[in-house]
Amino acid sequence: MSETAQFLITGVVAGAAYALLSLTWALVRKVSGQLFFLSGSMVVLGVLGTNALTERGWPMAPAVVVVVASAGAVTFAVDVLILRRIARQTELSGTLVMLALAFAMDELLSLGFGPEPRQLAPAVPGPPVSFLGASLQRQQLLIVAATAVLITALVLAGRSRWGKAMRACAENPTGAMLVGIHPTAVRTVGLIIAAALGALSGVLLGPVAAMGASSGFLLSLKGFIAAALGGWGFLGATVAGLFLGLTESLTAGYISSDLKDVVSLALLLLVLLGKDSIRLRRRVRNVRVSDDRREAPLPSHSVTD
């Protein structure tokens, strides 16, 4: 019982981490329609930047504020210099540019902070808490609680006027402009919030998992899998992140830890294949409807003198 409880607790904590990552993906997808491969790099920046400042004697709170603000500033610069120039290009072009930016960011992090993984001191020190025979670190409780607060805030924000403006800009930028909404400004604000959320997630996760410059892409991939599984909605991405974390934890505990990432990639493959199948069925249905309309006989009209 205690072993199963430990696996479940580990899975919930990992799922909360994936949920935080997936929220950045879902937010950027809603405001711009782009894939935010920079999310993992922002998480790593949160860990490495905070670690570097605290090692130089900075208190934790000011260090976190500076790092989170830096993540937002970097993303703002990337948006102004690069992303706005590709906003009207194809989705494939935007994805390739985002991937290139993610790899470039990882290299810059390696040059600036070194390739070695770093870990932060716990924000909530103290002995582990026993729950159902399993051991639970206080930092893990903070991660779960912070995830719940951030999810609630994003869901409420999505139902506000800003959330409606965000959806309008993503679905119909021209129509949004006609009603006085500035799509570029809304997209930029969404990107900055996503980057800041990623850096803050790194600060939360840093005490329980060591991260290096090379960790960014795998973290981004986990966030993408959870967001895609959840249908790109905030609540859906959260549930999918928890499901992904529990699946990985149970697989590692009862089968093999080497298969943990394989399970995640298999879930991603199923999602992509399912979406392709749905698109194919829609196209076939549209073709059939079009053929039926062509073959339908014209109505005859009787002419009376």
User: What are the tens digits of pLDDT across the range 69-95?
Assistant: 999 999 999 988 888 887 777 777 888
Distance CA 40, CA 102 (A): 8
pLDDT, greater one: 182 or 302: 182
Q: Is 180 left (phi over 0), alpha (psi -120 to 50) or beta?
A: left
What does the pLDDT average to over 157-161?
Answer: 78
pLDDT band at 303 (very low <50, low <70, confident <90, very high): very low
pLDDT band at 125 (very low <50, low <70, confident <90, very high): confident
What does the pLDDT average to over 115-130?
Answer: 83
Q: Which one of 59-73, 127-141, 142-156, 183-197 scores highest in mean pLDDT?
A: 59-73
Q: Which one of 147-161, 167-181, 189-203 scores highest in mean pLDDT?
A: 189-203
Q: With helix as H, strand as E and coil as C, how does the chain read?
A: CHHHHHHHHHHHHHHHHHHHHHHHHHHHHHHHCCCCCCHHHHHHHHHHHHHHHHHCCCCHHHHHHHHHHHHHHHHHHHHHHCHHHHCCCCHHHHHHHHHHHHHHHHHHHHHHHCCCCECCCCCCCCCCEEECCEEECHHHHHHHHHHHHHHHHHHHHHCCHHHHHHHHHHHCHHHHHHCCCCHHHHHHHHHHHHHHHHHHHHHHHCCCCCECHHHHHHHHHHHHHHHHHCCCCHHHHHHHHHHHHHHHHHHHHHCCHHHHHHHHHHHHHHHHHHHHHHHHHHHHHHHHHHHHHHHCCCCCCCCCC
What does the pLDDT average to over 117-121?
Answer: 89
Please check the confidence at residue 283 and state whether its pLDDT lies above 70.
no
Ordered by where they begin, the domains of the chain are 2-259 (1.10.3470)
What does the pLDDT average to over 158-187?
Answer: 76
pLDDT band at 292 (very low <50, low <70, confident <90, very high): low
Tens-place pLDDT, residues 12-56? 888 888 898 998 998 888 887 788 899 999 999 999 999 999 999
Distance CA 201, CA 12 (A): 15
Distance CA 113, CA 49 (A): 8
Q: Which residues contact 109 (CB under 8 A, 6 or more apart)?
A: 41, 44, 45, 48, 213, 216
pLDDT, greater one: 269 or 301: 269
Give me the pLDDT at residue 305, please: 41
- Asked which of 40-44, 165-169, 188-192 is least confident by mean pLDDT, the reply is 165-169
